[in-house]
Structure 1
Amino acid sequence: MHELTLVALNQEPEEEIGWQERSLCAQTDPEAFFPEKGGSTREAKKVCVGCEVRAECLEYALANDERFGIWGGLSERERRKLKKRAV
């Protein structure tokens, strides 16, 4: 997992971490989920499509205002748009 994710994991109550342990991204290259600016998000999103905890991941990212990386299959820009539509 990426360093930012590890910091978040260390601050979560133990029962809240369960979904992250079951995530497919935890079993793959973390660099794909935190591409350089302008880099492709395609590979990360392919992993997210088949992930059983995609909804929990997206919910976490929205609730914690994650500003970097692919969470729940969405980029930061896509999450921002989703939040605006929800308001």
Structure 2
Amino acid sequence: MSNTTLSELAPAIPLVPDVWLTHNEAAAAMRLTPAALQTMRTRGRGPAYVRDRRRVLYRSNDLIAWIDAQPRTVPGA
């Protein structure tokens, strides 16, 4: 098995440490639809986030940590 982490495999756009991302930017970085990320958030299963008035923001470090903490399955294993 490789030592590659999910954060190296998953992001569609680079995740730079210590950057705040909008909901849509976070979804794109995680290769999710905005609706899927919203569902995860409302069910308490997604990465940490904050509300800035009406906007939902994600810190890139939290996305990276959340991705790395997820169990990974290897196709064909």
Q: Which has the higher strand share?
A: 2
Name the larger-Rg structure: 2
TM over 0.5: no
